[in-house]
Amino acid sequence: MASDNRISLEITAAQKTAIVDAVMALKAALNGITINLTAEEKQSLPRISDNTLAFDEKCAAYMASRADLVPSFLDTAEMAKDRKLVADLLPCLREIAPICEGLEDTIMLANSDNYVGDLAFYQNVRQAAKRGVSGADTIYNDLKTRFPGRPKKEPTPPVNP
């Protein structure tokens, strides 16, 4: 283990079961409510940020009070339904987002600690292989495929003036 271990946590079987059960219950509750977009779809959609949310709210109020100005192709009932969906789901997202961030950060830190230890082991095996320690070369040859190195450049011939 690396000497600068920054995380040392364990999850019990009961905790893992409780977490998995809670996630499964949440997935079941959201089934049919959430939509997964592709990266391309996300890129192509106009977005409402906190800054433009006020614009949307003002437009909704004006559409309600001045229906004569609403283009005939707009379905204000569907727009109201979408606004309610956002209003219902946004608080849920705000509760879940820090949980997801905490999971991602915990996993990142644990993986980072392991990778630092892995690199220390790799360097030690590399040195052992150079010293001829039995079996070290087999391990080193297997692990070194992770670091293919840079291709050697062919020296460019000098240009004659």
Three-class secondary structure assignment of 20-55: HHHHHHHHHHHCCCCCCCCHHHHHHCCCCCHHHHHH
At 139, list the tokens: 């391990």
What residues have CB less than 8 Å from 159, skipping those under 6 apart? none
Handedness of CA 128, 131, 134, 139 (dihedral sign): positive
CA separation for the pair 77, 59 (Å, rounded)? 14
Q: What is the pLDDT of residues 9-23, one digit of tens each?
A: 999 999 999 999 999
For range 65-80, the mean pLDDT: 98
For range 84-102, the mean pLDDT: 97
Per-residue pLDDT at 49: 84
CA separation for the pair 125, 133 (Å, rounded)? 9
Q: What is the pLDDT of residues 22-43, one digit of tens each?
A: 999 999 999 999 999 999 999 9
Q: 5 pLDDT exceeds 80?
A: yes
Q: What is the mean pLDDT of the chain?
A: 93
Identity at 18, one-letter amino acid code = A
Q: Model pTM?
A: 0.76
Q: What phi and psi, each to the nearest 5 degrees, are found at residue 72?
A: -65, -20
Q: 1 pLDDT exceeds 50?
A: no
Q: 150 pLDDT exceeds 80?
A: no
